[in-house]
Amino acid sequence: MKISVIGAGYVGLSLAVLLSRKHEVVALDVIPEKVDMINRRISPIADRDIENYFSSEKLNLLATLDYEDCKASDYFIIATPTDYDPKSNSFDTTPIDVALDNIEKTCPEATIVIKSTVPIGYSRRVREKRKIANLIYSPEFLREGRSLYDNLHPSRIIVGTADMDGGSAERFADIIKGCSLENNVVVLITGYTEAESIKLFSNSYLAMRVSFFNELDSFAEINELNSEDIIRGISLDPRIGDYYNNPSFGYGGYCLPKDTMQLRSSYGNTPHTLISAIVQSNDDRKKFIADRIAAMVSCDSATIGTFRLNMKAGSDNSRKSSILDVMEILKERGFDIIVYEPTLMHDFFRGCRNIRDIEEFKKHSDVIVANRLTDELKDVSDKVYSRDVYSRD
């Protein structure tokens, strides 16, 4: 079978690698450097499993800039990014619309699978407007830095369709299952809007859990309580569980910020106190963190060092990283900020000097702000501010 994947980011590239184990796959992207790296089997994203598969597995995978290479595809999987647009209070689906235009010109008979996160109701509207015979919506549930692993070991496969007898949806689910390493994956076939809702509600629940433990930690810090003891105590309840409970400066990354805002917008006039509070809680947490850091600084001329910009360990993504907003708040208050981000090959980031030598960075920092702790900071722990309890994400 020939499958074309539009967009070679975290979602698209991991899917392309997964499917190319057993099918002919074309990965289309608009960035020439990324296309070249994939064809040379160099991963353009930080994902150790993709790197391992590129070096050790025989994959039937071609990366390209040209839709002509996608001709005669049985499936097109759209995995383009859809960021939240605060002006329209909705995702910008323009990249999906462009992909649909090109698919219509290239291979109109192919089955189209939308993997990008979309506003609730989008798939039904676009199917009716464009009169697409075979359109599926299948949300992804991937962790940054572990995207291929999560495709190889899926927790569940959700497929939304207008064909409620499940024919085309079942066939697509079977393709994904057949390329995974799991034999008993739960498959759920739903309507379009239910599948779209599952994606947004799942990520909003995770964001709510992050916010809950962050607010717990704020209370503990202000009242001089042991945050770790409280978290361990409540996590012993099996209904709560000892996971996704490590305090941070706030949730960030590709999905949680935009998905929570999209879900809040989708509610419209439907009462949604809790859903709105998730977004507000995350904003409040970052302001609280900035206040605590400012209180540590003894004078206005002190230098605050920001240790790493990435959203989580093992990821090269700093998109919507909470530490960036904390930096901006402190900059607005007039503090001198320096950055330690060795993966960033620029001397300045957002007007702040980037020092790529860790020892020089520690020497010039009066206070070091670290969303996540590592052994690199042990020798200067007396001037490190972090709320990381478990030294993990």
Whether 179 is catalytic? no
Distance CA 385, CA 174 (A): 48
* β partners of residue 28: 6, 64
Distance CA 201, CA 199 (A): 6
DSSP state of 35: H
Catalytic pick among 70, 107, 179, 255 = 255
Distance CA 145, CA 212 (A): 24
| Closest listed residue to residue 144, CA positions, set 257, 10, 235, 275 | 10
Residues 6+ apart with CB under 8 A from 18: 148, 151, 152, 176, 179, 180
Residues 6+ apart with CB under 8 A from 318: 309, 310, 311, 324, 341
What's the full length of the chain, in residues?
393
Distance CA 365, CA 354 (A): 12
Which pair of structure tokens corresponds to residue 46?
């930080």
| Closest listed residue to residue 143, CA positions, set 315, 318, 267 | 315
* β partners of residue 304: 337, 367
**Residues acting as catalytic residues:** 255
